[in-house]
C-alpha cells in the first residue's frame, strides 16, 4: 500500500490562493514561503512539499492563469455566430482574467516575475489554453472569415490584441486609455476591426 499524500489538492489551492492574495496586496517582493505558510495556517514544509520553492509558487500562479483560460473558454457555449463567440472569449474570459486576477495575468503574460521558469507544467498549460483559443478561431476560418491569414497567425494576432487591451485597461487607473465606462465596448470594437481585417487580406 502506497504512502498517502501528505498534502492534497485542497492544501495546494489554499497555498496558491494565499500567494495570489499576498502579491495583490503587498507586491511580489512580499511573497515568501514563510508568508504563504503563515497565511494558510500551515507549515513551510507544506509549501516546500507542494511547490518545491518560492519559484515553484510563482510558476503555479502562471500555470493557474492558463488553466483559468482553458477552463473558462471550455464553458462558453458555441452559437451560430463565430465572430460573436470569438468576442465572448476576449470579453468574458480574457478580460475577466486580467480584471479579476491581475496578479495571475501579470505573472503569466507581462512576465513581471523575473524568476518565472515556465517549466514543463506551465508550458503545457499555456499550450492547452492556446489550443483552446485556436479552436474558437478555427470557426472563423471555417466560415471563410480569415482570408489569406492562417489559423495560427490569426490566433496569435487575436491573443496579442487581447493582451494589449488588457494592459491598457489595467493601466487605466493611472494612465486612462480606454473610454471610461465603455471598456467592454472598446474591446469588442477593436477585435471586430481586427477580424474584419483578416478577411480584407484577400484583396
Report the greatest alpha carbon distance in the chain.
Answer: 67
Mean pLDDT for all residues in the chain: 91
CATH number for region 61-200: 1.10.357.10
Domain 1-52: which topology?
Arc Repressor Mutant, subunit A (1.10.10)
Per residue in 11-64, pLDDT tens? 999 999 999 999 999 999 999 999 999 999 999 999 999 999 999 999 999 999
Taking Cα atoms as reference points, which of 145, 144, 65 lies closest to residue 105?
Answer: 65
pLDDT at 142 over 70: yes
What is the pLDDT, as a whole number, of residue 180? Answer: 79
CA angle 56, 58, 62 (to 5 degrees): 115
- Domain spans of the chain, in order of start: 1-52, 61-200
Amino acid at each position: 500500500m502506497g504512502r498517502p499524500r501528505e498534502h492534497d489538492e485542497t492544501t495546494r489551492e489554499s497555498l496558491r490562493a494565499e500567494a495570489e492574495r499576498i502579491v495583490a496586496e503587498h507586491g511580489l517582493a512580499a511573497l515568501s514561503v514563510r508568508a504563504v505558510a503563515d497565511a494558510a495556517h500551515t507549515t513551510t514544509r507544506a509549501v516546500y512539499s507542494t511547490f518545491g520553492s518560492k519559484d515553484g509558487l510563482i510558476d503555479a500562479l502562471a500555470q493557474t492563469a492558463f488553466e483559468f483560460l482553458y477552463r473558462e473558454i471550455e464553458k462558453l457555449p458555441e452559437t451560430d455566430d463565430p465572430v460573436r463567440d470569438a468576442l465572448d472569449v476576449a470579453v468574458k474570459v480574457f478580460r475577466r482574467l486580467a480584471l479579476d486576477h491581475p496578479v495571475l495575468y501579470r505573472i503569466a503574460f507581462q512576465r513581471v516575475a523575473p524568476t518565472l521558469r515556465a517549466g514543463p507544467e506551465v508550458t503545457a498549460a499555456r499550450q492547452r489554453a492556446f489550443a483552446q483559443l485556436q479552436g474558437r478561431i478555427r470557426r472563423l476560418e471555417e466560415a471563410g472569415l480569415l482570408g489569406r491569414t492562417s489559423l495560427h497567425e490569426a490566433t496569435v494576432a487575436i491573443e496579442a490584441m487581447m493582451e494589449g487591451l488588457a494592459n491598457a485597461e489595467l493601466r487605466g487607473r493611472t494612465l486612462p486609455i480606454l473610454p471610461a465606462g465603455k471598456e467592454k465596448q472598446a474591446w469588442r470594437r477593436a477585435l471586430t476591426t481586427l477580424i474584419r481585417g483578416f478577411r480584407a487580406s484577400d484583396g
